[in-house]
């Protein structure tokens, strides 16, 4: 088995901390990383504050294989991610995007027809968005003029807008997977539902977890409350691992021990 790659996500945004916005980028990326077999170890939500950004990305870059930041790369005064990350790693800020792309390709979704792209007037604020940390690697997504910028070899700077966040990563992750050999041993999850309570199944689960812990099998137990009100089950037990036959074997053992129902695999997986 190849050594497991680890990842962390840094969500940069006052709007998440003030409750204005529900973060959904974490859940979307967590699913992608799970399918690639990358172990997402930590997520931190921090304010649009230079000191917070610097402390967090430096620590994460040192600790995990991949770091993904979300938010703060727009053209307004509260968008300080590029400058803060540049400072964190001793980079300068340079007009790299503008230099690497023809002016004609500097476009944005049309206001009247969001499905199409229109040329944008280059204001001083928009030029600020084109100022990327240097040295860095810029990965362009078709149809978007702001690149996914990678600093210090593993810090991936992404926008907070979910549609752009997802578009950039959907384009980039397959290349990353190919480069680093990810996805050859993805995580695999099975679920067993039961109407018995957590307190009643806990001892059986503990025994099975103890038996298989050394094989990299992780058993989780999640009461659903509310959910079984609508005809669902009371507790959902999950089995996660990379060894498919072993996950299936543990799943069967749990189903028998707790009188549970093994859920069919879902397509698409999520």
Tell which positions 21-60 bind a second copy, by CB under 8 A.
21-24, 26-34, 40-48, 52
The token pair at 233 is 């089950």
Q: By C-beta, is 90 or 229 nearer to a second copy?
A: 229
Query: Binding segment for a second copy among 57-65, 86-94, 150-158, 228-236 (CB under 8 A)?
Result: 228-236
Contacting residue, 51, 125, 244, 265, with a second copy by CB under 8 A: 125
Q: By C-beta, is 54 or 240 nearer to a second copy?
A: 240
183 forms part of the interface with a second copy (CB under 8 A): no
180 forms part of the interface with a second copy (CB under 8 A): no
2 forms part of the interface with a second copy (CB under 8 A): no
Contacting residue, 20, 90, 99, 245, with a second copy by CB under 8 A: 20
CB of 84 to a second copy, least distance (A): 16
In the stretch 134-163, what mask flags binding to a second copy with x, by CB under 8 A?
Answer: ---------------------------x-x
| Host H or E run for residue 192 | strand 188-194
DSSP 27-88: HHHHHHHHHHT-EEEEEEEE-S-HHHHHHHHHHHHHH-SEEEEES--SSSTT--HHHHHHHH
Contacting residue, 218, 243, 248, 249, with a second copy by CB under 8 A: 218
CB-based burial of residue 185 (10 Å sphere; 0-12 exposed, 13-18 middle, 19+ buried)? middle
67 forms part of the interface with a second copy (CB under 8 A): no
Question: Exposed e or buried b for every residue in 224-255, given b needs 16+ CB within 10 A?
Answer: eeeeeeeeebbbbbbbbbbbeebbeebbebbb
253 forms part of the interface with a second copy (CB under 8 A): no
* Cα dihedral 154, 160, 161, 166 sign: positive
- Cα–Cα separations (whole angstroms), residue 248 to 4, 38, 183, 209, 225: 21, 21, 19, 14, 26
Task: List, in sequence order, every residue forming a beta bridge with 189; answer none if it has no partner.
Answer: 240
CB of 135 to a second copy, least distance (A): 26
128 forms part of the interface with a second copy (CB under 8 A): yes
Number of residues binding to a second copy, judged by CB under 8 A: 82
| Host H or E run for residue 6 | strand 6-12
Query: Binding segment for a second copy among 121-129, 146-154, 178-186, 247-255 (CB under 8 A)?
Result: 121-129
């Amino acid at each position: 088995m190849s050594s497991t790659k680890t990842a962390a996500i840094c969500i940069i945004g006052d709007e998440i901390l003030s409750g204005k916005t529900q973060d959904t980028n974490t859940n979307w990326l967590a699913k992608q990383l799970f399918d690639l077999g990358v172990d997402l170890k930590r997520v931190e939500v921090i304010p649009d504050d230079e000191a917070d950004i610097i402390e967090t990305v430096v620590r994460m870059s040192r600790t995990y294989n991949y770091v993904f930041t979300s938010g703060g790369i727009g053209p307004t005064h509260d968008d300080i991610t590029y400058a803060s990350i540049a400072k964190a790693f001793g980079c300068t800020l340079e007009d790299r995007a503008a230099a690497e792309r023809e002016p004609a390709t500097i476009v944005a979704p049309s206001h009247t027809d969001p499905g199409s792209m229109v040329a944008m007037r280059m204001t001083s604020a928009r030029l600020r968005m084109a100022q990327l940390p240097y040295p860095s690697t810029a990965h362009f997504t078709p149809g978007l003029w702001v690149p996914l910028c990678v600093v210090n070899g593993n810090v991936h700077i992404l926008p907070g807008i979910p549609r752009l966040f997802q578009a950039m990563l959907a384009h980039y992750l397959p290349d990353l997977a190919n480069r680093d050999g990810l996805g050859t041993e993805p995580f695999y999850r099975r679920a067993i539902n039961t109407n018995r309570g957590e307190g009643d199944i806990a001892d059986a689960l503990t025994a099975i977890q103890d038996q298989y812990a050394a094989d990299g099998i992780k058993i989780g137990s999640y009461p659903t409350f509310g959910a079984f009100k609508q005809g669902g089950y009371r507790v959902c037990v999950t089995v996660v691992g990379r060894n498919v036959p072993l996950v299936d074997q543990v799943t069967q053992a749990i189903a028998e021990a707790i009188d549970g129902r093994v859920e069919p695999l879902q397509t698409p997986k999520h």
